[in-house]
C-alpha cells in the first residue's frame, strides 16, 4: 500500500479555521510539546473535556490529512494526556509549518 502524500486536502479558508481551532486547544489546554523523529508529542491538561476534544480533533484530521498517524495516550490514575502526531519523513516539518510547532513556539 502506498503512503498518502504529506498534504492537507482542506481549502485555504477551511485550513485557516482548522488551524485556529487547533491552536486554541493548544493554547488553552496544552502543557508542552516534544519533537519526535517523525512528528510531535503534544501534552495536555488531564481532563475528560480535553480527551473528548482530542478525540474529535483526531476524527476530523483523519479526513483531511490521511498521512498522519495519531496516538492518544492517557496515563492511569488521571495522569498525563498526550497526543502523538506522526507520519512519513517530512511530517514534523509539515506540522511545524502548519501549526507553528517547534522550538520557537
List pLDDT tens digits, range 50-93: 999 899 888 888 888 889 999 999 999 999 999 999 999 999 99
CATH class, domain 12-99, is: alpha beta
Mean pLDDT score, 12-38: 82
Residue 1 clears pLDDT 70, i.e. is over it: no
Place of cell 474529535: 56
What's the pTM? 0.84
How far is Cα 2 from Cα 4, in angstroms, rounded to an integer? Answer: 6
Residues 6+ positions from 35 with CB-CB distance below 8 Å:
92, 101, 102, 103
Domain positions in the chain are 12-99
Stated length of the chain: 105
Amino acid at each position: 500500500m502506498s503512503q498518502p502524500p504529506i498534504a492537507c486536502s482542506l481549502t485555504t479558508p477551511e485550513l485557516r479555521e482548522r488551524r485556529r481551532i487547533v491552536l486554541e486547544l493548544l493554547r488553552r489546554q496544552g502543557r508542552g510539546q516534544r519533537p519526535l523523529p517523525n512528528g510531535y508529542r503534544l501534552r495536555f491538561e488531564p481532563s475528560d473535556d480535553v480527551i473528548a476534544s482530542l478525540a474529535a480533533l483526531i476524527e476530523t484530521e483523519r479526513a483531511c490529512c490521511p498521512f498522519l498517524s495519531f496516538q492518544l495516550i492517557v496515563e492511569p490514575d488521571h495522569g498525563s494526556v498526550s497526543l502523538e502526531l506522526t507520519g512519513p519523513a517530512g511530517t514534523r516539518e509539515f506540522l511545524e509549518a502548519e501549526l507553528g510547532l517547534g522550538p520557537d513556539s
